[in-house]
Amino acid sequence: MAASTGSLISMQSRHGMATSRICSLKPVSLSNQGRSYLSFGLRSMPARSLRVSCAAKPETVEKVCEIVKKQLALADGTPVTGESKFTALGADSLDTVEIVMGLEEAFGISVEEESAQSIATVQDAADLIEKLVEKKD
């Protein structure tokens, strides 16, 4: 049995088959075929692997949502959430570059091209921003 505290944990199987989000955590037990495991970061486990990561702060996600709406000139009623994919919002590769540039300016960070290419969703962007801001401080 493993216990964990925090505001949000996101779990995804190695092969992308299942994703779970746990908010406002209380003690949590993670098990696989009757065996209990807890993994932070990437770690191999028998039969399956889990990636457990703490998500960005809600205010960071909200700020990224606003920047994405502005860069893509989305209508006021268009829903944009952490799970929103840039392509689903109509962004092409040039739009994505402009979004990243807007994020760099708004947060005072510099995103390497390799990292920028891994951003597919608003949540991906927010998580990367918090990582880069933390490194900067």
Selected residue with higher pLDDT from 27 and 91: 91
Answer yes or no: is pLDDT of 96 > 50: yes
- Cα 81 to Cα 70: distance, rounded to the nearest angstrom: 14
**20-50 per-position pLDDT tens digit:** 444 444 444 454 555 544 444 444 445 444 4
Active-site annotation, residues: 92
Residue among 111, 30, 31 at smallest CA distance from 67: 111
Rounded to whole angstroms, the Cα distance separating 7 from 119 reads 22
Q: What span, in angstroms and rounded, lies between the C-alpha atoms of 107 and 60?
A: 10
Please report, rounded to a whole number, the percentage of residues in the chain having pLDDT higher than 90. 55
What the chain holds in terms of domains, given with CATH numbers, is: 58-134 (1.10.1200.10)
